[in-house]
Amino acid sequence: MNDSVLASIATFGVYLAVMVAIGLWVYRRTVSQADFVLGGRQLNSWVAGLSANASDFSGWLLLGLPGAIYVSGLGEAWIAVGLAAGFAGSWILVAPRLRVYTERVSDSRFGGESDSLTLSSFLENRFNDRSRALRAVSAVLIIVFYFFYVASGLVAMAALFDQVFGLGPAPAIVIGVSIVVLYTVLGGFLAVSYTDVIQAAMMWAALLVVPVMAITALGGFAGLADRVAGRGEDLLSVVGGTALDLDTGAWVSTETLGWVVIVSGLAWGFGYFGQPHILARYMGIRSVKDIPKAGFVSVAWAVSAMALAVLVGFIGIAYFDTPLDTPEQVFPRLIEALTHPLVAGLLLAAILAAVMSTADSQLLVAASALTEDGYKAFVNEEASPRSLLWISRGTVVAVAVIAAGVALWGNQSVMDLVGYAWAGFGAGFGPVLLLALFWKRMTWTGALAGMLVGGATAIIWDIVDSAYIGTGLYAMVPAVILSFGAILAFNSLGKVSEQMEEDFDKVVREIEQGGTPEAEQVA
């Protein structure tokens, strides 16, 4: 075993020990289901903002995006542009109202004592849905798509362990899942959020250090640009099509990017309006007054991190004389080529951090859906907070095991799995959530139709498009359009009660007062 592997093992060991220590630290503060799911809604601006980033930008940021740029050049950056716009929009439009709505609008069946801990319970309470259909359908969508989303992180984790330690997929996934499950089970939402802050800092630092070292070695930005241009004339064009031919080891020009590619890339941004693991940070922040600062921190981190990830892709094109067989490994390969083994171990741990910071949040939300929106809602409404806490911990383990199976027996890339789940959540919940927060006359029938049509379209679009249409359009685009259409078409079948109107007006007034509860306004 060489010095590089030993250094990486030592660094990974310290990192994983810190994650578990944080889980142990908050264990005693997690005493109820509300603590496990939302941490008592006590996140400050920095924790909420950075946790939203870490829970969002998984292995896609450090593996998928640099790999896509490495293969096709600047044309792949349209995804980053769309994501930056969508992330900013979700903090501005969704975060304030969702934070107030989920706490103030409660389940009338429990005398107004049970606030909305999950996205599914919020939808049921928002529309006073006595049929429980909204809760059931939304919970099913969350669970199904999270199996694929968590699996994408595990695929990235397996690739990392293979690159560093030469481990096969099975042992790599078992090790990674065991650590994530351990600290998530111990500390729930608080453990996930606090570890996210460390993981976000590690990810950003790694994305900064590697480009600085590489650009210095390449003779500055001018040397980088010259080398990239020499590999392919359209690599630096935002509309020029380029693809890496692995057989010849050369970047070849393809057709100029059409509207399909650009629109598909930008459409990724809409996904932010429907990602439950990100929306949970909006719900768990301490106060509406903390949201502007949290949003600024979060968006600034996201924009700079994606810009650095794009730069990493170009550095890979310029640095390696022989094209990589596995483009998604461009960042780990640069780390190993440029840094000392001890430094490499720390930077590679940042990739593991990216994977874990998303997987833990997704496991938590999926487990909450099974427990809060499944067991409590349909099996035992009188379950105690303590019993629900332990059931949630058990479901974290169950979801992790199933997702590990999807990762081990599937054959899709990180980018494919993320894209599938992202479209499912964005189309299944995005239109419904936006209109639920801003349209007073929306009803439960419209919400249900929007979820069903949006989620179903995201699932079947690629199959239908490849077999009959052939546009190549990202599923998010048709799924979102059809979801909005279904909401408008079926909304009139439901009714808006006086209580729903009062709740909506109450939330609007509180937002206008800067997030101050009405009781305090009167006082």
What does the pLDDT look like over 410-431, one tens digit per residue? 665 656 677 778 888 999 999 9
pLDDT at 10: 78
pLDDT at 375: 81
pLDDT at 88: 94
What does the pLDDT look like over 235-252, one tens digit per residue? 887 776 677 777 777 777
Tokens read off for 496: 């808006």
Whats the size of the chain, residue-wise? Answer: 523
How far, in Å, CA of 325 to CA of 249, rounded? 9
Strand, coil or helix: what is 277?
A: helix
How far, in Å, CA of 69 to CA of 78, rounded? 11
Cβ-count burial 163-201 (b if 16+ within 10 Å, e if not): bbbebebeebbebbbebbbbbbbbbbbbbbbbbbbbbbe
- CA–CA–CA angle 251, 467, 489 (5° rounding): 115
Tokens read off for 20: 């578990």
pLDDT at 111: 43
What does the pLDDT look like over 265-306, one tens digit per residue? 888 899 899 988 889 899 989 889 999 999 999 999 999 999
Strand, coil or helix: what is 245?
A: strand
DSSP secondary structure string for all residues of 226-283: HHHHHH-TTTT-SS--EEEETTTTEEEE-PPP-HHHHHHHHHGGGGGGG-HHHHHHHH
pLDDT at 254: 72
What does the pLDDT look like over 300-323, one tens digit per residue? 999 999 999 999 999 999 898 888
pLDDT at 519: 47
Q: What proportion of the chain, given as a percentage, has pLDDT over 90?
A: 25
Rounded to the nearest 10 degrees, what angle do helices 476-490 and 444-464 cross at? 150
- Whether residue 33 is predicted with pLDDT greater than 90 in this model: the reply is no
pLDDT at 110: 40
CA 350 to chain centre: 17
Mean pLDDT score across all residues of the chain: 83
Q: Is the CB of residue 408 less than 8 Å from the CB of residue 169? A: yes
Tokens read off for 177: 């899942």
- Dmax (CA) for the chain in angstroms is 74
pLDDT at 515: 62
How does DSSP classify residue 493?
G
What does the pLDDT look like over 326-344, one tens digit per residue? 888 899 889 888 887 778 8
Strand, coil or helix: what is 43?
A: strand
Q: Is the CB of residue 278 less than 8 Å from the CB of residue 52? A: yes
Instruction: Name, in order, each residue with C-beta under 8 angstroms of 216's C-beta and a sequence gap of 6 or more.
Output: none
- Contacts of 157-160 with CB under 8 Å at 24 or more apart are 157/59, 157/352, 157/355, 157/356, 157/359, 158/407, 159/63, 159/326, 159/328, 159/329, 159/414, 160/59, 160/332, 160/348, 160/351, 160/352, 160/355
Tokens read off for 91: 């903090």
How far, in Å, CA of 300 to CA of 294, rounded? 10
CA atoms within 13 A on the CB side of 293: 12
Residue 428, CA distances (Å) to 141, 365, 420, 434, 489 in order:
8, 16, 12, 11, 16
- Which burial class, exposed, middle or buried, applies to 26 when counting CB atoms under 10 A from its CB (0-12, 13-18, 19+)? buried
Band the pLDDT of 356: cuts 50, 70, 90. Answer: confident
What does the pLDDT look like over 103-126, one tens digit per residue? 876 554 444 445 677 888 889 889
- CA–CA–CA angle 271, 373, 459 (5° rounding): 40
- Phi then psi for residue 107, to 5 deg, are -80, 110
Tokens read off for 442: 């929306």
Q: Is the CB of residue 273 less than 8 Å from the CB of residue 94? A: yes
